[in-house]
C-alpha cells in the first residue's frame, strides 16, 4: 500500500536555507507544480544511496499502483534531455512494472550537490536502507557536504550517537560489512565485533556467528569473555617482581623495556628511536 507522503524534516530546511526546495522540505506539495512526465524520459540517479530494492515490497507497491495509481509524485530535476530522479526511485520502478506511460512529478531546479543531499536524506528518513547503505549515506553527508554529525542527526530525526555508531560499522572488515549489508548479521552484531581488535579473531568470531546463528546478546557475551581472558593474561605484567626488573633495565639502558614472561623463559623487548640511539644501547650492552 502506498504510504502517506512524509516531508524531509525540519532539519533539512536548516541545512539548505533560502533554497527553491521549500515545498519538498517543509510540508505538503503544491499541486500546481505537479506535472505528468513520460517514464521513458526519466532516469535514476547513479548516486542513489539505496542499491538494493526489496522485490517483495516492490511487487506490493506495483499492485497498489495498478489499483490506485501513483498517489505521491516523485521529485526530479531536468538534466540534458532527461529528467533525473531526486526522490522516489522505488515508485518510478513500480510504475514501470505496472506498465504506466507517465508518472506525476515535481520538477526542481537544484545543482548536483543539492540533489545528492536530498536523495540521501529522503532515503534515510524512509528507513529503507540497509545498515551499510545508511552508514555510507551518513558518511557522504558529513564528508562531501561538510555537515556535522549533529546536523545530520537533526535532519533525519536520529540521535547523534546513532549517526556515530552507524558510521563506525564502516571500520569493520570488508567480509563483515558484506554480511551486514546482506542481512546475514545485524548492526548489533557489527557493533559487538568492533570491540575485537585482532582481525583474525574478529573474522573467526563472525564466521561462528553466521554458521551457528548466534544472536547479538550471545555475541556480546563471547566478546566480553575474550576481553576478560586477555586481561587476565596481561596481569602478569603487573607482577611486582617483573615490574621491578623492567624498571632496573630501563634505568640501565635509558629506554623503554618490556618483559613478557612465559611458562618457561620469556621475551625482553628493548625500544630504540633511531640509529644513534641503537648504537648507544649496543655500547651499553657489549662494553
In degrees rounded to 5, what are phi and psi of residue 188? Answer: -65, -40
Contact 76, 107 (CB under 8 A): yes
List Cα–Cα distances, 18 to 93, 117, 174, 238, in angstroms.
32, 15, 41, 62
What is the distance between the alpha carbons of residues 180 and 183, in angstroms, rounded to a whole number? 5
In degrees rounded to 5, what are phi and psi of residue 38? Answer: -60, 135
Which residue from 33, 122, 41 is spatially nearest to 84, judged by alpha carbons?
41
Q: Specify whether 102 is catalytic.
A: no
Burial degree of 128 (CB within 10 A; 0-12, 13-18, 19+): middle
What is the distance between the alpha carbons of residues 125 and 123, in angstroms, rounded to a whole number? 6
Contact 149, 137 (CB under 8 A): no
The grid coordinates listed for 58 are: 516492490
What is the distance between the alpha carbons of residues 219 and 179, in angstroms, rounded to a whole number? 15
Contact 105, 75 (CB under 8 A): yes
Catalytic residue among 38, 47, 60, 89: 89
The grid coordinates listed for 271 are: 625500544
Catalytic residues: 89
Amino acid at each position: 500500500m502506498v504510504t502517506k507522503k512524509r516531508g524531509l524534516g525540519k532539519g533539512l530546511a536548516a541545512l539548505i536555507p533560502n533554497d527553491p526546495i521549500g515545498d519538498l522540505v517543509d510540508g505538503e506539495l503544491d499541486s500546481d507544480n505537479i506535472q505528468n512526465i513520460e517514464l521513458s524520459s526519466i532516469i535514476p540517479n547513479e548516486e542513489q544511496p539505496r542499491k538494493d530494492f526489496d522485490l517483495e515490497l516492490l511487487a506490493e507497491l506495483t499492485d497498489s499502483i495498478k489499483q490506485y495509481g501513483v498517489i505521491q509524485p516523485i521529485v526530479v530535476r531536468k538534466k540534458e534531455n532527461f529528467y533525473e530522479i531526486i526522490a522516489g526511485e522505488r515508485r518510478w520502478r513500480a510504475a514501470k512494472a505496472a506498465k504506466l506511460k507517465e508518472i506525476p512529478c515535481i520538477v526542481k531546479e537544484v545543482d548536483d550537490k543539492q540533489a545528492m543531499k536530498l536523495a540521501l536524506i529522503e532515503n534515510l528518513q524512509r528507513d529503507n536502507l540497509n545498515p551499510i547503505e545508511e552508514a555510507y549515506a551518513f558518511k557522504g553527508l558529513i564528508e562531501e557536504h561538510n555537515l556535522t554529525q549533529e546536523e545530520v542527526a537533526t535532519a533525519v530525526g536520529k540521535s547523534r550517537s546513532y549517526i556515530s555508531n552507524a558510521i563506525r560499522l564502516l571500520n569493520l572488515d570488508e567480509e563483515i560489512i558484506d554480511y551486514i549489508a546482506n542481512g546475514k548479521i545485524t548492526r548489533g552484531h557489527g557493533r559487538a565485533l568492533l570491540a575485537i581488535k585482532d582481525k583474525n579473531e574478529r573474522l573467526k568470531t563472525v564466521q561462528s556467528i553466521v554458521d551457528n546463528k548466534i544472536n547479538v546478546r550471545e555475541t556480546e557475551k563471547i566478546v566480553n569473555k575474550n576481553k576478560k581472558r586477555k586481561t587476565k593474561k596481561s596481569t602478569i605484567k603487573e607482577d611486582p617482581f617483573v615490574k621491578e626488573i623492567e624498571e632496573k633495565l630501563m634505568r640501565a639502558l635509558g629506554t623503554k623495556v618490556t618483559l613478557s614472561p612465559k611458562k618457561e623463559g620469556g621475551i625482553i623487548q628493548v625500544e630504540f628511536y633511531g640509529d644513534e640511539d641503537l648504537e648507544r644501547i649496543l655500547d651499553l650492552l657489549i662494553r
